[in-house]
């Protein structure tokens, strides 16, 4: 594609401006990706790899001098091994399509995130996506057994391992996972599958303060053990914003300080529901939680998840700046208070909406400065990232660095680490044509 065919498309999920590039290529196979990359390599042409364009750090955004390589035509699920519990899937396959396909075979791919209807398996691998089930199943890295990637010069790196155990030298696939398209284009992935769980039980709960949230996490971990799949927290202000009339339906009183959506997966529908209800009841009795709503149908369960996943109401603020940080759970409350105080001092009219995959030590903040000041983003970054070091946190939990956070990389990585990353990049992509300027600038 060239010209208006490109500009008719949006930059990304987050940015509706027209997409810009010299050309957009849509290969159908590994060999076509290889051919496209060889040509670009010969000409020293920069290439931006795109999956579902839901990434949160502008890693797949293109400018007019780039060629975009889109995986949108590489959507085949090549193989499902029901005995071994693995699948081989092309990188452009949409996550939800893949989840539904394996579900028809009684299997389960546990990576799950709000962008499931658009994000791709290749994008999930390239960003090492996390999401809502990490507390039990880990991030994308934990689910990948093998992959195929094409280097900048067209070399095919086939690392299509299907086994859990394979200690034969360096595990090269790990380098591509989370490398945000800077080391190679991922064309296929071999993933681990679970058996479809027989039961899924869920509750939305309300709590008076953060100390009770951590107590509740401990209670659920102790009483529900390995069944615990999701433990998603929303600060009261976030909950109220997303359940304003006209947005999501609130299943309970909206005036609580904290809300936690908790979910378990298990093997025995009746026994699991009974156990889950007993655990929620004991949390109420012990006054760890103030209220709990348990859905009576799949529709009601989905409505609870909508409250957590549909944050359109918050995005009505212009701008609403999204952050993704991680830090030890015990430091979260103090950290959020510090950020909120800093914001109020800077912009008294600002709002800060906080939620997160708290069991993973991961918080998301939406910051609405509600101000016309210059450099809102830069100043907001200082307020969010500045205090992280003292709390032992990281500037990116699951979204990656992209171009948006590269200034902050050194906040979470030592100089030696960044230098090693750069030397790996130079080895894999000596001309620097793949996603230039993503994660770091080579020249600096
Ligand atoms: C509503 C919503 C909810 C979200 N929730 C979560 C969440 O809970 N957890 C989470 O981790 N993320 C979340 N995200 C972020 C995003 O969905 C993930 O980062 C996702 O993995 C990106 O996949 P994608 O296919 O959209 O990749 P893109 O956005 O297209 O690309 C992301 C990066 O990967 C590179 N890339 C893409 N495909 C390939 C490939 N085949 N080979 C090499 N490089 C490639 C791109 O160049 C870019 O650097 C959310 C996003 C939205 C919009």
Tell me whether the omega of the peptide bond preceding residue 319 falls within 30 degrees of 0, making it cis. yes
Q: Is 130 in the pocket of ligand 1 (CB under 6 A)?
A: yes
For residue 30, count other CB atoms closer than 10 A to its CB.
19
CB 378 within 8 A of CB 390: no
**Ramachandran category for residue 3: left, alpha or beta (phi over 0 → left; psi -120 to 50 → alpha):** left
How confident is the model at residue 167, as a pLDDT? Answer: 96
Query: C-alpha distances in angstroms, 343 versus 29, 57, 311, 353?
Result: 49, 22, 21, 12
Q: Is 71 in the pocket of ligand 1 (CB under 6 A)?
A: yes
**Best CA proximity match to 432, nearest among 86, 18, 45:** 45
What are the strands of the beta sheet with 362-368, ordered from one edge? 291-293, 199-207, 258-266, 228-235, 351-357, 362-368, 321-326
Question: What gap in Å lies between CA 353 and CA 362, rounded to an integer?
Answer: 14
Q: Is 111 in the pocket of ligand 1 (CB under 6 A)?
A: no
Question: Which atom of ligand 1 is nearest the CA belonging to 435?
Answer: 47
How confident is the model at residue 444, as a pLDDT? Answer: 66
pLDDT tens across 327-378, in order? 999 999 999 999 999 999 999 999 999 999 998 999 999 999 999 899 999 9
Q: Report the Cα–Cα distance between both ends of the chain, in Å, rounded.
A: 33
Question: What gap in Å lies between CA 163 and CA 81, rounded to an integer?
Answer: 12
Q: Is 62 in the pocket of ligand 1 (CB under 6 A)?
A: no
Partners of residue 120 on adjacent β-strands: 94
Q: What is the DSSP letter of 28?
A: S
Nearest CA to ligand 1 atom 32: 55
Question: What gap in Å lies between CA 234 and CA 387, rounded to an integer?
Answer: 21
User: What are the pLDDT tens digits along the chain (444 aa)?
Assistant: 999 999 999 999 999 999 999 999 999 999 999 999 999 999 999 999 999 999 999 999 999 999 999 999 999 999 999 999 999 999 999 999 999 999 999 999 999 999 999 999 999 999 999 999 999 999 999 999 999 999 999 999 999 999 999 999 999 999 999 999 999 999 999 999 999 999 999 999 999 999 999 999 999 999 999 999 999 999 999 999 999 999 999 999 999 999 999 999 999 999 999 999 999 999 999 999 999 999 999 999 999 999 999 999 999 999 999 999 999 999 999 999 999 999 999 999 999 999 999 989 999 999 999 998 999 999 999 999 999 999 999 999 999 999 999 999 999 999 999 999 999 999 999 999 999 999 999 986
CA 357 – ligand 1 centroid, Å:
17
Question: What gap in Å lies between CA 47 and CA 70, rounded to an integer?
Answer: 10
CA 93 – ligand 1 centroid, Å:
12
CA 236 – ligand 1 centroid, Å:
28
Query: C-alpha distances in angstroms, 58 versus 77, 248, 296, 366?
Result: 28, 28, 40, 16
Pocket test for ligand 1, best of 33, 60, 357 (most atoms within 8 A of CB): 60
Question: Which atom of ligand 1 is nearest the CA belonging to 91?
Answer: 41
CA 31 – ligand 1 centroid, Å:
24
Question: Which atom of ligand 1 is nearest the CA belonging to 122?
Answer: 41
Angle between helices 269-285 and 210-224 (to 10 degrees): 140
How confident is the model at residue 443, as a pLDDT? Answer: 83
How confident is the model at residue 277, as a pLDDT? Answer: 98
Structural domains of the chain, ranges and CATH numbers in brackets: 4-70 (3.30.43.10), 77-195 (3.30.465.10), 199-312 (3.30.70.2190), 317-398 (3.30.70.2740)
> 41: which residues sit within 8 A by CB, 6+ positions away?
152, 153, 154, 431, 433
CA 324 – ligand 1 centroid, Å:
13
């Amino acid at each position: 594609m060239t010209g208006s065919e490109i500009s008719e498309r949006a930059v990304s999920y987050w940015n509706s401006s027209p997409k810009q590039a010299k050309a957009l290529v849509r290969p159908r196979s590994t060999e076509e990706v290889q051919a496209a990359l060889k040509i670009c390599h010969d000409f020293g042409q920069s290439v931006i790899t795109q999956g579902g364009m839901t990434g949160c750090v502008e890693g797949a955004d293109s400018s007019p001098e780039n060629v975009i390589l889109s995986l949108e035509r590489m959507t085949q699920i090549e193989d499902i091994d029901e005995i071994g519990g693995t699948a081989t899937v092309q990188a452009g396959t949409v996550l939800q399509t893949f989840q539904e396909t394996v579900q028809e075979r009684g299997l389960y791919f546990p990576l799950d995130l709000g962008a499931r209807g658009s994000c791709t398996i290749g994008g999930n691998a390239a960003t090492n996506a996390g999401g809502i089930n990490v507390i039990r199943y880990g991030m994308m890295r934990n689910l990948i057994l093998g992959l195929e990637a094409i280097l900048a010069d067209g070399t095919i790196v086939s690392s299509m391992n299907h086994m859990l155990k394979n200690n034969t030298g360096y595990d090269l696939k790990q380098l591509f996972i989370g490398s945000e398209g800077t080391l190679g284009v991922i064309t296929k992935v071999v993933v681990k599958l679970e058996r479809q769980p027989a039961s899924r039980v869920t509750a939305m709960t309300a709590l008076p303060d953060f100390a009770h949230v951590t107590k509740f996490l401990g209670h659920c971990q102790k009483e529900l053990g390995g069944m615990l799949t999701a433990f998603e927290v929303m600060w009261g202000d976030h909950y109220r914003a997303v359940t304003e009339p006209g947005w999501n339906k609130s299943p309970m009183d909206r005036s609580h300080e904290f809300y936690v959506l908790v979910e378990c997966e298990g093997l025995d529908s009746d026994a699991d529901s009974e156990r889950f209800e007993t655990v929620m009841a004991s949390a109420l009795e012990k006054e760890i939680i103030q209220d709990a709503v348990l859905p009576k149908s799949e529709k009601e369960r989905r409505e609870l998840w909508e409250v957590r996943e549909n944050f359109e109401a918050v995005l009505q603020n212009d701008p609403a700046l999204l952050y993704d940080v991680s830090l030890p759970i015990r430091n979260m409350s103090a950290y959020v208070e510090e950020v909120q105080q800093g914001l109020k001092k800077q912009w008294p009219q600002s709002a800060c909406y906080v939620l997160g995959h708290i069991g993973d030590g991961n918080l998301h903040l939406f910051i609405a400065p509600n101000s016309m000041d210059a450099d809102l983003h830069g100043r907001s970054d200082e307020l969010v990232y500045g205090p992280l070091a003292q709390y032992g946190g990281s500037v990116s939990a699951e979204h990656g660095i992209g171009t948006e956070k590269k200034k902050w990389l050194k906040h979470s990585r030592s100089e030696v680490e960044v230098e090693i990353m750069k030397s790996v990049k130079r080895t894999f992509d000596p001309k620097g044509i793949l996603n230039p300027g993503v994660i770091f600038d080579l020249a600096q």
